[in-house]
């Protein structure tokens, strides 16, 4: 074999080993000596192996991503939509983009995992913060931080007290009362023992006397024995008949004895362990009955004015009620909690929850206090008319005895509960308090001791058990002596209660009430427009149509009521605060050729004039003109309303 043939064989062997890799570049394939090797085959194999590993890792990672997406899709189908799972899928997509950009799978995976962990931790923190904020939310968003904290603390104390059955003071002392009763019974038993011993001695004496009497009787019996012999013979015959009966009884006794022996044998067959178990079961049953008597059932449905008090029930009305007690005690949690407990106990002791169903038989007091109308803020108005008690007969009938005074107090609490029925505790925007007007016109003076005592008790109990239920307490027609009486009563009132008092002298009644109550809701006797059984201004839209006009000093104001069509009836109400003006009414036709008609001549109105109501039916188009002439040095406020009624042909 020549050298050239050897070279060719070596080339074919190398080509067989590395078929896919171009390792040579020969300028002359026939000349083996001129072959030039450009690359090392071993290095090329190593590089190719690295690239193959990278590609395999990328494919594995893509498969993992696909598998994770499939798993997440299955979870979405099986479970409700979850934002966290969406965030995880987004995190995976971000990982894919980072892998393609950086071409580094390991770094991309680490970065993606860190982002997912950060996103989940941030979401958890946000959820926790939202829960804390929900817990701290109160029924009034305008509360200060310390007031919110006080409400949260009071709710936690109340929750604990209800669940541990410690809300009512008497419930915690039941066991002590039972123990005292048991001790008292033991003392009675110990006292009865010596008495029984003395009784036994007396019994012995009686027995001795009886024995002596029996001896005398025996002597008499001896004499009668002879007579009895005849009777004995007769008895023998009876005995023979009795023997037959005795034999039957013996057979019955034998059967009874056998049954007793059988039961005894069954008892003997029972093992001592079974007997012990029976004894234990009996003892356990006795203990259970005792424990059932001692353990108080937890009442989670405790409510006040129809509002559940358990804070975990989640009622917004609970916050409204609790804030009343907190405000009454200047947001001092412990004092507010004690006030709440005392109120619940007072209502339980006096059966206030069922007071609305009671017929107290005090119909003569219906004109003393009643509910009527609402103020500017929607508070129901309660009127108290103390001048009625100027009547001696009614006064004695109401306050003559202690029993009658207590009945009057109960009637006053019943009226308060009726007013609360008109309130709304459902949310913070609801009206949750009343407005009270106390008319002291012709009311009995301080010499009426019974009335003074009853009023003092009523004010104290209402203040302690109905906290923050009076938005404003207005006293009208206040006499001079009442200021002295109020000075005596003032020390028994809290500062917050006193801050709600408003006093108005007779000349300022209407002006004072108009600050808090619309004119159409003020009764006519107080200078308002509200009349009893008023059929003219009955709808809400008409009642709210009240216009206010200011008449300056030394000027005149003309109020026009249009009447564009003939055959209409015009009706109007008008009030001038403080009056002392000249007032007139006239009808001015639209036709200039017609004459002006005077409805009411000019009249000087005094300070105590009642509101004016008048009407006019026009026969032609025109207008009614109401003229107010103010010749005083003070401006005057005029309030009026009107309506037009068309009469059908």
Q: pLDDT-based confidence at 479, cuts 50/70/90?
A: confident
DSSP letter at 323 equals H
pLDDT of amino acid 168 = 74
Residues 6+ apart with CB under 8 A from 641: 520, 529, 537, 542, 543, 545, 546, 547, 572, 573
Higher per-residue pLDDT: 609 or 11? 609
- Residues 466, 350 contacting (CB under 8 angstroms): no
**Distance (Å, whole) CA 199 – CA 37:** 141
Please answer whether residues 624 and 590 qualify as being in contact, where contact means their C-beta atoms are separated by less than 8 angstroms. no
Residue 417 — φ and ψ, nearest 5°? Answer: -65, -35
CA distance 296 to 174: 9
| Per-residue pLDDT band at 166 (split at 50, 70, 90) | confident
pLDDT at res. 471: 93
CA distance readout (Å), 405 to 208, 460, 488, 508: 66, 15, 21, 33
Task: Kindly report the length of the chain.
Answer: 649
Minimum mean pLDDT range among 206-220, 323-337, 393-407? 206-220
Q: What is the pLDDT of residue 496?
A: 80
Ramachandran region, residue 622 (left: φ > 0; alpha: ψ -120 to 50; beta: rest): left
Average pLDDT, the chain: 75
pLDDT at residue 229 tops 50: yes
What is the distance between the alpha carbons of residues 109 and 113, in angstroms, rounded to a whole number? 6
* Greater pLDDT, 24 or 613: 613
Least confident of 246-255, 377-386, 462-471: 246-255
Could you tell me the pLDDT band of residue 453, with boundaries at 50, 70 and 90? confident
Q: How far apart are CA 545 and CA 3, in angstroms?
A: 129
Percent of the chain with pLDDT over 70: 58
Highest mean pLDDT among 53-62, 131-140, 437-446, 546-555: 546-555
* Full-model pTM: 0.61
Q: Which residue has the higher pLDDT, 40 or 52?
A: 52
Query: What is 418-469 written as a DSSP string?
Result: HHHTT---SSTTS---EEEEEE-TT---TT-HHHHHHHHHHHHHHHHHSTT-
Q: Answer with the residue of higher pLDDT: 391 or 283.
A: 391
pLDDT of residue 420: 94
Q: What is the dihedral of CA 540, 541, 544, 550, to 10 degrees?
A: -160
- pLDDT exceeds 70 at position 487: yes
Question: Residue 467, exposed/middle/buried by CB under 10 A (0-12, 13-18, 19+)?
Answer: buried
Helix (H, G, I), strand (E, B) or coil at 591: coil
Beta bridge partners of 381: 435
**Residue 639 main-chain phi, psi, to 5 deg:** -120, 130
Is pLDDT at 104 greater than 90 in this prediction? Answer: no
**Segment of 49-58, 128-137, 447-456, 625-634 carrying the highest mean pLDDT:** 625-634
Q: Which of 64-68, 395-399, 532-536 has the lowest mean pLDDT?
A: 64-68
Give dist(CA 501, CA 504) in Å, integer.
Answer: 10
* Average pLDDT of the residues in 633-649: 86
DSSP secondary structure string for all residues of 181-194: HHHHHHHHHHHHHH
pLDDT of the residue at 340: 95
Which whole number is the average pLDDT over 464-486? Answer: 88
Eight-class DSSP state of 611 = P
CB 521 within 8 A of CB 530: yes
Interval 72-86: pLDDT, tens: 665 555 544 444 444
Mean pLDDT of 217-223: 63
Selection from 470, 523, 517 nearest residue 493 by Cα: 470
Rounded CA gap, 16 and 11, in Å? 9
Residue 443 to residue 485: CA distance in whole angstroms: 13
- Is the pLDDT score of 105 beyond 50? no
Q: Does the pLDDT value for residue 276 go beyond 70?
A: no
Which residue do the tokens 């072959």 mark? 35
Helix or strand run (H / E) with residue 509: helix 509-514
Residues 6+ apart with CB under 8 A from 498: 490
Instruction: Select from 388, 398, 382 the least CA-distant residue to 368.
Output: 388
Report yes or no: 589 and 563 within 8 Å, Cβ to Cβ. no
In angstroms, the CA 109 to CA 114 distance is 9
Q: Judging by DSSP bridges, how do beta strands 597-605 and 501-504 pair with one another?
A: unpaired
Give the Cα separation of 209 and 628 in Å (integer): 115
d(CA 636, CA 634): 6
For the chain, the first-to-last Cα distance in angstroms comes to 145
User: Region 442-458: what's the mean pLDDT?
Assistant: 83
pLDDT value at residue 417: 95
What residues pair up with 581 in beta bridges, in sequence order?
Answer: 605
The predicted model gives 434-460 an average pLDDT of 86
Q: Are 313 and 453 in contact (CB under 8 A)?
A: no
Confidence of residue 172 (pLDDT cuts 50, 70, 90): very low
pLDDT of residue 577: 92
Rounded-to-integer distance, Cα 45 and Cα 49, Å: 6
User: Residue 515 — very low, low, confident or very high, per pLDDT cuts 50/70/90?
Assistant: very high
pLDDT at res. 347: 94
Assess contact for 419 and 371: CB atoms under 8 A: yes
pLDDT given for residue 409 in this prediction = 92
Do residues 360 and 407 lie in contact, with contact meaning Cβ atoms separated by under 8 Å? yes
pLDDT in tens, 306-337: 999 999 988 899 999 999 999 999 999 999 99
Radius of gyration of the chain (CA): 52
- What pLDDT score was predicted for residue 108? 45
Run of H or E including 569:
strand 568-576
Q: Residue 631 is encoded by which pair of tokens?
A: 């010749």
628-640: average pLDDT:
94
pLDDT band at 641 (very low <50, low <70, confident <90, very high): very high
Q: What is the percentage of the chain residues whose pLDDT exceeds 90?
A: 37
Q: How far is CA 636 from the centre of its chain?
A: 47
């Amino acid at each position: 074999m020549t050298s050239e043939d050897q070279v060719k064989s070596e080339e074919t062997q190398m080509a067989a080993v590395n078929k896919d890799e171009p390792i040579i570049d020969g300028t002359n394939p026939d000349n083996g000596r001129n072959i030039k090797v450009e690359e090392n085959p071993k290095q090329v194999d190593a590089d190719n192996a690295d690239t193959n590993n990278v590609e395999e890792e990328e494919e594995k990672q893509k498969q993992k991503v696909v598998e994770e997406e499939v798993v997440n899709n299955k979870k979405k189908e099986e479970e409700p939509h979850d934002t966290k799972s969406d965030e995880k899928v987004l995190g995976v997509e971000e990982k894919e983009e980072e892998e393609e950009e950086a071409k580094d799978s390991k770094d991309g995976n680490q970065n993606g995992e860190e982002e997912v962990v950060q996103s989940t931790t941030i979401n958890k923190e946000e959820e926790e913060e939202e829960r804390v904020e929900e817990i701290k939310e109160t029924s009034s968003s305008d509360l200060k931080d310390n007031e919110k904290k006080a409400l949260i603390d009071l709710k936690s104390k109340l929750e604990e007290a209800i669940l541990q059955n410690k809300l009512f003071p008497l419930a915690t002392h039941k066991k002590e009362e039972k123990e005292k009763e048991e001790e008292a019974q033991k003392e009675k038993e110990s006292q009865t023992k010596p008495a029984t011993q003395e009784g036994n001695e007396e019994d012995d004496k009686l027995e001795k006397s009886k024995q002596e009497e029996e001896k005398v009787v025996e002597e008499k019996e001896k004499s009668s024995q002879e007579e009895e012999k005849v009777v004995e013979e007769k008895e023998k015959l009876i005995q023979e008949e009795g023997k037959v009966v005795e034999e039957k009884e013996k057979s019955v006794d034998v059967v009874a004895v056998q049954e007793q022996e059988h039961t005894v044998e069954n008892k003997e067959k029972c093992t001592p362990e079974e007997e012990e178990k029976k004894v234990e079961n009996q003892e356990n049953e006795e203990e259970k009955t005792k424990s059932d008597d001692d353990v108080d059932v937890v009442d989670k449905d405790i409510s006040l004015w129809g509002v559940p008090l358990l804070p975990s029930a989640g009622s917004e009305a609970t916050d409204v009620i609790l804030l009343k007690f907190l405000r009454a005690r200047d947001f001092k949690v412990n004092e507010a909690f004690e006030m709440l407990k005392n109120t619940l106990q007072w209502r339980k002791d006096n059966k206030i929850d069922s007071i609305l169903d009671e017929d107290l038989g005090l119909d003569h007091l219906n004109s003393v206090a009643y509910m009527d109308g609402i103020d500017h803020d929607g508070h129901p108005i309660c009127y108290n008319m103390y001048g009625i008690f100027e009547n001696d007969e009614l006064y004695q009938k109401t306050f003559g005895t202690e029993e009658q005074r207590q009945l009057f107090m109960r009637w006053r609490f019943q009226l308060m509960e009726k007013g609360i029925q008109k309130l709304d505790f459902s949310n913070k925007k609801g009206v949750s308090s009343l407005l009270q007007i106390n008319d002291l016109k012709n009311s009995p003076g301080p010499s009426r001791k019974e009335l003074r005592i009853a009023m003092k008790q009523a004010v104290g109990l209402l203040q302690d058990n109905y906290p923050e239920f009076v938005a404003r307490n207005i006293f009208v027609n206040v006499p001079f002596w009442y200021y002295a009486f109020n000075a005596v009563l003032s020390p028994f009132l809290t500062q917050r209660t006193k801050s709600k008092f408003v006093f108005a002298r007779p000349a300022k009644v209407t002006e004072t009430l108009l600050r808090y109550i619309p004119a159409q809701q003020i009764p006519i006797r107080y200078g308002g427009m509200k009349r009893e059984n008023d059929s003219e201004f009955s709808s809400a839209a008409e009642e709210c149509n009240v216009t206010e006009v200011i008449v300056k000093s030394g000027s005149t104001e003309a109020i026009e009521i249009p009447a564009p069509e003939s055959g209409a009836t015009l009706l109007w109400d008008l009030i001038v605060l403080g009056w002392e003006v000249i007032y007139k009414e006239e009808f001015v036709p639209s036709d200039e050729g017609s004459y002006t008609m005077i409805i009411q001549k000019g009249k000087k109105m005094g300070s105590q004039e009642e509101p004016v109501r008048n009407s006019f039916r026009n026969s032609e188009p025109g207008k009614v003109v109401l003229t107010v002439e103010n010749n005083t040095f003070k401006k005057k406020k005029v309030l009026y309303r009107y309506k037009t009624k068309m009469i059908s042909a």
